[in-house]
Structure 1
Amino acid sequence: MINIKKEGIILEKTALLFENESVLNPAIMQEGNVIHMLYRAVRAGNYSTVGYCKLEGATEVVQRNNKPLLIPCCEEASNGIEDPRIVKIDGIYYITYTSFDGINALGTLVTSSDLVTFTNHGIIVPQFTFDEFQRLAECTNLVNAKYFRHVRHFNRSKKVFIWDKDVIFFPRRINGKLAFLHRIRPGIQLVLITSLEDLTREFWNNYFLHFNEHIILDPVGSHHESSFTGGGCPPIETEDGWILIYHGVFDTSEGYIYSAAAALLDLENPTKVVGRLPYPLISPEIDYEINGIVDNVVFPTGTALFDDKLYIYYGAADNCIACASLSFSELLNELKLNPVVEENN
């Protein structure tokens, strides 16, 4: 087992209108000793924007804006923007979040060169109904049957799409292609494209016809992630592969329990899982993780590395932002000690 240190709460809500209900699920961009934190800020009524603060070192907040950095700017995000992640590719910040219109929750991309001005690329995941998705994906019997257990929502005024969340880019191109993770429940999938213009309806039609080839991590028997999995932090590159810290969910009679989990992906073919921890990396154990707006939640969304110490930032019980630390080399070694012989079809 890996030695985990809970560093405690990093950020809590304030009396400011845009974040007076909770703060959670931060995107983390480390640049030397400085950390830019772009966090989900929730006002009363469960309406989310993205706030900003700056840290010196891993845990010291030295600046915090008194207004949102990013706000909804289209009808697709009329009920808020949620759970940002950030990477930097070829000098450009790629910031992803979930746009929510009250019915549909869909992955969206904005880019920036300076974290001051932003270009909105809109929704980049497929806008398919569940029936459209099922017709294509079930053409092969290799897809986990859980993908077809969808809770249908009905709304006369809006078209209802299958939820596609947790869009997270890799921090560099892989074999010349942009790579990003996304989550159609209950697993985590991978997209490889030459440019954003590739993401046409025809592309997604073909993608769903071969859906099983794009699934990276499905739920497994281990209780901490037996219900579903989802993206967490941007992948971390090592000589041995990409370390992926994600979330796993276990359904109990008391409700869902969200934990942080870890896997190791092949460096040049990240659809291949080469290592996976058989136990949760960080579980809800402390009061601020157990009791909150949503109980029993550790939801990892960003990391920072100082020497050999990896800091993992997470939303705790959907109420505040907390941090845990561990030895990076120990995590990598533990993943290598838990190889996956055959993870995907």
Structure 2
Amino acid sequence: MSKELFRRYSKNPIIDISDLPYPANAVFNAGATLFNGETLLLMRVEDKRGISHLLLGRSKDGVRNWVIDKEPTLLPEPDFHPEEEFGIEDPRITYLDEIRKWAIVYTAYSKYGPLVSLALTEDFKSFDKKGVILPPENKDAAIFPERFSDKWALIHRPSPKDLRAGAHIWISFGYDLCHWGEHRILFESRDGAWWDSGRIGLSTPPLKTDKGWLLLYHGVKLTVSGAIYRLGLALLDL
């Protein structure tokens, strides 16, 4: 029998809509980081219109006693960022020591579909939105915390309209955080009856270990009863 890697917290969920300071349809898909000795969750909250924004919660142990902002922390701003017309979703947070800021890569939902946007912050109170960094349809993106040969690296998942083509995890490189090139597939969803045969996408930002870069990713198997999501691991060279 394989060794158990993860164990679900017995009192899940750690946050639900009853904990929020205002009415909402759902709270889910949070980005997480450590800040000033606390765990921060930048949570996706879907409002009563079905449009998402981001809301910050803080906890000393990352499990209990959450202190949640009284108002939305980061709202869509379609007047200034038209790509955010239908909300902002699914943030992934990376601390960039080189610039001493946290990079928040999130999905902006435009009338043309989901795309990848970037915001920077020093304090999780004010945010500098950089706008679109990858066009639609694309999501599940995060930045590596350090450069490779002077280039930043970004993981993301383009989403073809025809899923028979597969939805794979890609990597791109750039000298700044806003312009990306050298796009290539990092690894593919598998063919056949595999648990990750439908599509795959990044879950958390890459984690550096002494064995390599650890990726937690989600895989989707498409069945006649709907999509089944599962969690997987991949290890990249340093």
Give me the CA root mean square deviation. Answer: 1.9
Looking at structure 2, the residues matched to 15 and 79 of structure 1 have their Cα atoms a distance apart, in angstroms, of 24
| SS in structure 1 of the partner of residue 190 of structure 2 | coil
The residue aligned with 1:176 is 150
CA contact (8 A) 1:33 1:57 kept: no
With the length of structure 2 as denominator, give the TM-score of the two structures. 0.86
Q: Distance in 2 between matches of 1:43 and 1:194?
A: 37
Distance 2:23 2:154 in 1: 29
The offset of 1:62, in angstroms, is: 3.2
CA–CA distance in structure 1, aligned partners of residues 22 and 115 of structure 2:
22
1:79 corresponds to: 86
Cα distance 1:167–1:18, how it changes in 2: closer, same or farther (>3 A)?
farther
Equivalent residue for 1:57, pick from 56, 61, 78: 61
Aligned residues: 221
Letter in 1 for 2:139: K
1:249 lines up with 2:230 in the alignment: no
Write the letter of the residue equivalent to 1:253: V
Aligned residue in 1 for 2:141:
167
* Residue of 155, 171, 188 corresponding to 1:190: 171
Pick the structure with more helix per residue. Answer: 1
- Identity fraction in percent: 28
CA contact (8 A) 2:21 2:70 kept: no
| 1:48 and 2:52 matched | yes
The question of whether the paired residues in 2 share the 8 Å contact of 1:25 and 1:40 is answered with yes
Alignment equivalent of 2:108, drawn from 74, 87, 99: 99
Distance 1:20 1:45 in 2: 9
| 1:16 Cα offset (Å) | 5.8
Aligned residue identity for 1:38: L
Compute the displacement of 1:198 (Å): 3.7
Of 17, 23, 26, which residue of structure 2 is paired with 1:13? 17
Which residue of 2 is the match for residue 158 of structure 1?
Answer: none
- Offset at 1:33? 4.6
Deviation (angstroms), 1:175: 2.7
Q: Where does residue 286 of structure 1 map in the other structure? A: none
Code of the residue aligned with 1:29 in structure 2: it is T
SS of structure 2 residue aligned to 1:14: helix
8 Å CA contact 1:19, 1:42 repeated in 2: no
Displacement of 1:32 in angstroms is 7.0
The equivalent of 1:323 in structure 2 is none
Q: Which has the higher contact order (CA 8 A, sep 6+)?
A: 1
Structure 1 residue ranges without an equivalent (≥5): 128-161, 268-345
Contact 1:17–1:43 under 8 Å retained in 2: no
Match of 1:115 in 2: 124
3-state SS in 2 of match to 1:5: coil
Aligned residue type for 2:177? L
- Structure that is richer in strand per residue: 2
Distance 2:107 2:22 in 1: 17
Cα deviation, 1:71-92, whole Å, max 9, x if unaligned, reads 0122110110010110100211
- Aligned-pair CA distance for 1:24: 0.4
Unaligned 5+ residue runs, structure 2? 160-166
- Offset of residue 15 of structure 1: 8.1
The answer as to whether partners of 2:130 and 2:178 remain within 8 angstroms in 1 is no
The 3 A distance-change label for structure 1 pair 76 and 198 is closer
Structure whose alpha-carbon radius of gyration is higher: 1
- Please point out which of 26, 31, 34 is paired with 2:30: 26
Say if 1:223 and 1:77 are closer, same or farther in 2 by CA, change over 3 A: same
